[in-house]
Amino acid sequence: MQDIIISHNLEADLTKAVGRIAPDRLFVLADETTAVFCWPVIRDFEALRNAHLITIGATDEAKTLDTLATVWQQLGEGGATRHSALINLGGGMVTDLGGFAASTFKRGMAFINIPTTLLAMVDASVGGKTGINFRGLKNEIGVFSDADTVILSTPFLRTLDSHNILSGYAEMLKHGLISTAEHWKKLLTFDICGILPQIGTVGGPDCDDKQPDRSERYAALASLVEESVGVKEHIVSEDPHEQGIRKALNLGHTIGHAFESLALLKGRPVLHGYAVAWGLVCELYLSTKLTGFPRERFYATIQFIKENYGTMALDCREYDRLYDLMTHDKKNVAGRMNFTLLGDIGDIRINQQVSKDDIFEALDYYREN
C-alpha cells in the first residue's frame, strides 16, 4: 500500500519520501501549468537539487500514447534506470500518465505523487490506478501500480480556478454518497462558494464578490479532503484491484465517463469532475427507480449539482453514441453492462444490470430537469 501523507511541511515530507527511495537519479513530471505555478514551490528543495524536469502538455487531451512515449524518451535520455524515481507534480492527468510511465519504464521504477488539484488529491493520485486514454476512450490502457508516497499539500489548492475546485468536489460528493449520511450532509452544506476564486463563473455558483478572508474555509476544505481520502483509502485497502467493493468508487462514472468521452470526441473536452457530477444525476435517478434510493436525498443531491455544475448540452440523437461508449466501461463482464447504484447513502449495490430503456430514461431526466 502507498504511504499517504497529509502534509504540513512539504519540504520535510518530500525529503523523507525521496530519502526512503534513495534513487540514483530523480525526475519531476509536470504539465505546462504546474511547471509555472507549482514547480517553483519545490525546485529549490535540497532533495531536488539535481532533479530533471520533464514538462508535458496540460489538459486531458495530452493523456495519450504519444505523450507517454515522450516521457519514456526523456527518462531514457536523462539516464533513468529502474533504481531512479519520478515525482508526479500535477493533477490527475499527470499522476495517471506519470504513474504509468514510471511503472512500465525498465519494468518499473519508483514514483511519488504530489497532486496539485482537488480532483487529484481525493481521487486520481490515491488508489494505484494509472493509465492513458486510447481510441477516444477514458483510461483504456493502464496498470494498477501504487505510488511509493502520495503527499497531499492543500496550499496548492489556492492555485486553482473555480472549475477545477468544483471538479474535485464532485468526487468528494461521490465519496459522501457511498459513506455516511453525516459526511454527505457536510458536503452539501459546506460553503463552497466561499472559497471559489472567480466570481460568477459559467456553470458555477453566483458568488458575492465581497468575500471575507478564505483561510478558515480552506482549512475546513482541507478537513473534508482528509475525510474524503480516508473513504477512498479504506475501500481500496479492502479491494485493491477492483474485484468487488472498490466498484463503489465508480458511482456516477459509467455514464460520466461516457459524457466525458463524447465531449472529447466532439472536440469540446470537459473536466472529469463535471462529467462525474452529470453522471451522478443519471445514476442516482436509476438508483431511485431500481434500488430504492430515497427521493428526498435524490432531490437534495441533484439540486446541489444543478446549481454548481450546470448541464452538458445533449441531443437525444446522441443517446446511442453514449450507450456505445458505456459498453466499453471496464466494469462490464461478458458483454453485460454493470452499474454501481445505491439503496441509500452508504448502501452500495455493485454489479447492477440496467436496461437500455432505463438508461435512456435517465438521460431524458438529465436533459429535461
- Here the CATH number for the domain that contains residue 273 is 1.20.1090.10
Same structural domain for residues 138 and 182?
no
Number of domains in the chain: 2
**pLDDT confidence bin for 159, thresholds 50/70/90:** confident
CA 93/CA 64 separation, integer angstroms: 10
Which CATH number belongs to the domain containing residue 84 in this structure? 3.40.50.1970
| CA nearest to 365, candidates 270, 263, 255, 200 | 255
Same structural domain for residues 194 and 296?
yes
Same structural domain for residues 34 and 120?
yes
Residue 202 pLDDT exceeds 50 = no
Listed residues 130, 159, 188: the one ending a domain:
159
**pLDDT confidence bin for 214, thresholds 50/70/90:** low
Same structural domain for residues 194 and 294?
yes
State the average pLDDT over residues 10-26. Answer: 97
State the average pLDDT over residues 10-18. Answer: 98
Same structural domain for residues 282 and 359?
yes
User: Of 131-140, 213-222, 356-365, where does mean pLDDT reach its minimum?
Assistant: 213-222
| pLDDT at residue 71 in the model | 98
**pLDDT confidence bin for 335, thresholds 50/70/90:** low
| pLDDT at residue 125 in the model | 84
Residue 207 pLDDT exceeds 60 = no
Listed residues 159, 177, 211: the one ending a domain:
159
Over the Cα atoms of the chain, what is R_g? 20
Listed residues 139, 159, 179: the one ending a domain:
159
| pLDDT at residue 102 in the model | 98
β pairing state of 26-31 and 110-115: unpaired
Same structural domain for residues 47 and 173?
no
Same structural domain for residues 195 and 148?
no
Instruction: Count the Cβ atoms, other than its own, within 10 Å of residue 309.
Output: 26
**pLDDT confidence bin for 334, thresholds 50/70/90:** low
Q: Which domain holds residue 139?
A: 3-159
Same structural domain for residues 81 and 212?
no
User: Of 42-46, 55-59, 116-120, 197-201, where does mean pLDDT reach its minimum?
Assistant: 197-201
With pLDDT > 90 as the criterion, what percentage of the chain qualifies? Answer: 79
Q: Would you say the pTM of this structure is higher than 0.85?
A: yes
Query: Cα-Cα-Cα-Cα dihedral of 276, 69, 67, 134, to 10°?
Result: -40
Residue 136 pLDDT exceeds 70 = yes
Same structural domain for residues 207 and 95?
no
User: Of 163-167, 214-218, 319-323, where does mean pLDDT reach its minimum?
Assistant: 214-218
Same structural domain for residues 135 and 149?
yes
What cell numbers appear for 241 in the block?
Answer: 484491484
State the average pLDDT over residues 280-297. Answer: 98
CA 250/CA 217 separation, integer angstroms: 28
List, in sequence order, the alpha helices (H) in the chain.
Answer: 10-21, 34-37, 39-42, 65-77, 92-104, 118-119, 162-177, 181-189, 215-238, 253-265, 272-290, 295-309, 319-326, 356-368
| pLDDT at residue 127 in the model | 86
| pLDDT at residue 243 in the model | 87
Same structural domain for residues 350 and 214?
yes
**pLDDT confidence bin for 206, thresholds 50/70/90:** very low
Place of cell 462514472: 253
Q: Taking all residues of the chain, what is their mean pLDDT, rounded to a whole number? A: 92
Same structural domain for residues 69 and 143?
yes
State the average pLDDT over residues 91-103. Answer: 96
